[in-house]
Structure 1
Amino acid sequence: MKNFGKRIWHLILLSFLLCALFLPQAGCVSFPPATEDVLNLWDTGPITLDPAISSEMSSHSYVMQIFSGLVRLDDELEVVPDIAEGWEKSEDGKTFTFHLHQGVKFHDGKEVKASDFKYSWERACDPETGSQTAATYLGDIVGVNDKLAGEAEEISGVKVVDDYTLQVTIDAPKAYFLCKLTYPTAFVVERANVESGSDWWRHPIGTGPFELKEWSPGQLLILERNELYYGQLARVKQVTFHILAGNPMSMYEDGEIDVMPVGTDYIDLVEDEASPFYQELAVTPELSLYYIGFNTEAPPFDDVNVRRAFCYAVDKERIIKSIFRDMVNKADGILPPGMPGYNENLTGLEYNVTKADECIAASEYGNVSNLPPITITIGGYGGGVPDYLGAIIQEWRQNLGVEVQVRQLESEKFVYHLSEEKDEMFMLGWVADYPDPHNFLDNLFHTGSENNIFDYHNPELDALLDQAGIEQNSEARLMMYQQAEQQIVDEAPCLPLWFGKNYILV
């Protein structure tokens, strides 16, 4: 899913909620047991609470507590039953029959039936809903594309067998299909709630472990434990999010919040073994990538040599050391460490000013003086340019002799309208939705993908990704994805910058 912040605080927040609010799980940070009824957290707040619309971490952190789906990812990132108690797959790998737990209830007490899932998915795929994620996460289901195009009233590949049985047919056997159903787009919503008005999501009724008690945008959001939850009840009765309430470090020191993300301003303090915070620091890796994307359909980045030149001209190691204080890891490719298919032997476009100059000379422009004006689009508020982006722009100025302007969009507009609003470049991040290389390589770079904001088109790559998507041999499949990743790096539709790590105080 998309992310545009300096740190992936919402990924930290979501991980904390999943680990700390329920029974301890392997693979989670070891959190102290909750001793109070209320957990206090600092946050920036959600943009939306509609599972069909949410496509970024700031909203997902809440959506995934309020709603749920047929399946989920466990602490080992394996797909396990959730509202579905189990399923069967046909011999050809294209039809899944899900059996729902009986007695699962929405927050208002209404029982969840198979027809609720059919309604929820068809609503997500209705053109009037305006989902930017339905094609990506439900598009393998037969009939979804017709529904998205407004050419069908229902999804032909989704059939309600009875109240507790749902049959789903996909267009080809795909190893990652069940993983996609763990994404919020596939979560169940209550029809009466949705049809109560256009702002229904401000008062959502879901099936998740928490329900919304109070929401004052920009001030406070309170989640209350769902006592009707079909799974393990949360260990705290209430989670209070203090929205943009002040300095998180000061609030943490004063005991006003229980968790705090650590940035470069405080890293020396919290890593000092003599500091009282040292024992409270948790550092965990994350499956994420930050990058600068190029608009490959418009000058000058429709020229692959210009794209390569801008990649060669950035000394990522220097920026990571001087600005991030080594709190992130340099990215040469697309797939982060820990992701299946991660390739240690991938050949990246390493910092090399000589090669950058050679690429400019080999481009249709011949010289940087012939390049058109270049602007990079970023998200945020207040017009400030992040230090790391300022350093990158300085590298382009110093190493290429190119001036790059910055245009900032408000966060919501940036996240949901970047495809139409982007300039020649844009700054973005991607957080894994499921542990499969398809989630990065196909979702971001396949022609026509909802998240291919680069407008990148490579028929050879498309064919390779399509082949990998249906390959049933795991080893052969991962080799195909490694080959695809190398093609992407060579073609440079983006400049991979760094892979993230989480630093939090608990």
Structure 2
Amino acid sequence: MLKRYRILIAAVIGIITCLSMISCGFLDLTCVAPHQREPSTLYLSDSGPLTLDPAISGEMSSHTYITQIFSGLFRLDDAMQPVGDLADTWERSQDGKIYVFHLKKEAKFHDGKPVTAQDFKYSWERACNPATESRTASTYLGDIVGAREMLQGKANTISGVQAIDDQTLKVTIDAPKAYFLAKLTYPTSFVVDRASVEKSESWWQQPNGTGPFKLKTWIEDQHIVLERNDSFYREPAKLTRIEFQLLAGSSMSLYETGDIDVAPVYLYDIDRAQDPKGPFAGELLVSPQLSLEYIGFNTQKPPFDDVYVRQAFCMAVHKEKIIKITQKGMVTNAHGILPPTMPGYNKDLKGFEFDVDKARALLAKSKYGNSLPPIIITQSGAGNFIPPYLGAIIQDWEQNLGATITVRQLDPEIFSYYLENEVDNMFVFGWIADYPDPQNFLDVLFNPEADYNYTKYKDPALTALLNQAGTHQDSAARYKLYQEAERILIDNAICLPLWFDTDYTLIKPYVKNYKLDAQGTPTLSSVFLDE
């Protein structure tokens, strides 16, 4: 899924904080009335979701809330492996193409209505209905027989989904795929209440979900309150309420004043958070992500339709120095595409090393020579804020290759959902694993047939490798095929891998069992307070 851009969020919140300081008097915290704590309530800060519709959501900002309010057949456990959620038991046919899921009989929507197999069929067909305009359904439901036909408007139902009875769902996929159940942990496959959806276009602002929490209050740009679902089909959440303060100012300031209990740590505060003699000693949680930050090259637009130009741009950036200076050790330099803890990771894979002379020689060898056209790089952002790392990368390209580069910012919502139509010559992109399988990076992001392939790279050999790996039933053989595919992508410089990210989070001592998974998502239903 698309990453949350923490640098942008920090910058925007920082501006809001500065304005608050001006209106209240610089650093006069007395003008901010602290909230009165409610028992068993966790206080957090955030920027808020873009949507609460599971069929549409494709980024972390929205997933944080959707995974608390809704649920699906499967969820990821602490080891990032799919385990049954609304699915109680299931069987798989010998050829690996047919699944029969039996739902938990005690599963109910928040209003008490039982969850049925018909609800799942409706939810998936709604996601695949072209009118819904889901940009995730093809990726996460497209393996199901008939799903692509419905997405293309050629069918009114998904032929591979059958509600046998209220508790039994039969699903047929197009080929045996080891990662299929993991795909069903993604919000696109979550169940929604038909009556709720058809009541209003804005139904998702007052959703009737199945998750461990209910949406109690949502005042845009102010706060969101989640309330425990006491009828949850698994063990109910330990917290009674979760209150998110939206765009309320610097998370570090709110944490220091006791207005929130957990605070993400951004680049500008990491030194204070890591100070062993500082006020936050012992409160910092460090959680590696299964994620990749990279700059993609649009291989269908000049000058990146030339492999030598792409290779030159990879070699002209002193990435190690830029990361060290601008990221303060918060990230890990990426030589390839797969994160180190991902199955199939190739520790011997090395990308293009920094070498200005070789970069210039490659550029001279290209069909553009030393006469590059003006280049535009697309970035998620606002207010003309360019992150220092990106500014440094652009400076390297301009100084070392004589390139002329302009940054075009897209509003985060447009970037998240419409980049396919907006991408320029290059783009900055961040991806977090939806499940720990190399398919979720290499196939989802770079297969020529994939919706997220914004590089538009086409190579029949790569397609064949990825498709073969997707259906191979032997794990070791699958990973070897994915490593071959990754090597093709790196050798052809389809992107410039930047880094693998890590989450840094401050947690008050009385907050217990708060942890982030490899996606950076907290399992809030297991959190409790030592009050």
Whether the TM-score (by the shorter chain) exceeds 0.5 is: yes
- Name the amino acid aligned to 2:275: D
Establish whether residue 220 from structure 1 lines up as the match of residue 253 from structure 2.
Answer: no
Q: Is the 8 A contact 1:8 1:500 kept in 2?
A: no
2:494 corresponds to: 493
Task: Give the alignment of 1:464-475 within 5 angstroms.
Answer: 464-475=465-476
1:29 corresponds to: none
1:17 corresponds to: none
1:454 corresponds to: 455
Q: Is the 8 A contact 2:45 2:251 kept in 1?
A: yes
1:166 corresponds to: 169
Task: Give the alignment of 1:82-481 within 5 angstroms.
Answer: 82-367=85-370, 370-481=371-482
Give how far 1:7 is off: 5.6
Deviations along 1:192-241, whole A, 9 cap, x unmatched? 11101111111111100111111111111111111111111111111111
Q: Is the 8 A contact 2:344 2:483 kept in 1?
A: yes
- Between 1-10 and 74-83, the greater mean CA deviation after superposition: 1-10
Rounded Cα–Cα distance in structure 2 between residues aligned with 1:243 and 1:6: 15
- Name the amino acid aligned to 2:504: Y
Rounded Cα–Cα distance in structure 1 between residues aligned with 2:200 and 2:499: 42
Give how far 1:9 is off: 8.6
- Name the amino acid aligned to 1:171: D
Rounded Cα–Cα distance in structure 2 between residues aligned with 1:236 and 1:179: 28
Give how far 1:106 is off: 0.4
Q: Is the 8 A contact 1:380 1:408 kept in 2?
A: yes
Deviations along 1:378-412, whole A, 9 cap, x unmatched? 11221111111111111111211212111111111
Rounded Cα–Cα distance in structure 2 between residues aligned with 1:36 and 1:322: 43
- Name the amino acid aligned to 2:416: V
1:45 corresponds to: 48
Give how far 1:8 is off: 10
Q: Is the 8 A contact 1:4 1:379 kept in 2?
A: no
Rounded Cα–Cα distance in structure 2 between residues aligned with 1:318 and 1:343: 23
- Name the amino acid aligned to 2:439: H
1:3 corresponds to: 3
Q: Is the 8 A contact 2:442 2:482 kept in 1?
A: yes
Q: Gaps spanning 5+ residues in structure 2: where?
A: 11-36, 508-531
- Give TM-score, length-normalised by structure 2: 0.89
- Equivalent residue of 1:3, what SS? coil
Q: Is the 8 A contact 2:96 2:177 kept in 1?
A: yes
Number of residues paired by the alignment? 481
Moved over 3 A (4+): 6-10
- Equivalent residue of 1:278, what SS? coil
Seen in structure 2, the aligned counterparts of structure 1 residues 9 and 169 have a Cα distance that, compared at 3 Å, is farther
- Name the amino acid aligned to 2:161: V
Give how far 1:495 is off: 0.8
Give how far 1:456 is off: 1.3
Give how far 1:262 is off: 1.3
- Name the amino acid aligned to 1:3: K
Q: Is the 8 A contact 1:332 1:350 kept in 2?
A: no
Rounded Cα–Cα distance in structure 2 between residues aligned with 1:142 and 1:8: 40
Q: Is the 8 A contact 2:107 2:233 kept in 1?
A: yes
- Give TM-score, length-normalised by structure 1: 0.93
- Name the amino acid aligned to 2:327: F
Give how far 1:354 is off: 1.7
Q: Is the 8 A contact 1:336 1:342 kept in 2?
A: yes
Q: Is the 8 A contact 1:4 1:427 kept in 2?
A: no
Give how far 1:38 is off: 1.0
- Equivalent residue of 1:480, what SS? helix
Rounded Cα–Cα distance in structure 2 between residues aligned with 1:319 and 1:442: 29
Deviations along 1:432-469, whole A, 9 cap, x unmatched? 00000000000000012111111111110000000001
- Name the amino acid aligned to 2:468: Q
Rounded Cα–Cα distance in structure 1 between residues aligned with 2:363 and 2:442: 27
Rounded Cα–Cα distance in structure 1 between residues aligned with 2:77 and 2:344: 20
Rounded Cα–Cα distance in structure 2 between residues aligned with 1:220 and 1:179: 32
Seen in structure 2, the aligned counterparts of structure 1 residues 465 and 411 have a Cα distance that, compared at 3 Å, is same
Rounded Cα–Cα distance in structure 1 between residues aligned with 2:410 and 2:319: 25
Give how far 1:109 is off: 0.9
- Equivalent residue of 1:63, what SS? helix
- Over the matched positions of the two proteins, sequence identity in percent amounts to 57
Rounded Cα–Cα distance in structure 2 between residues aligned with 1:426 and 1:177: 29
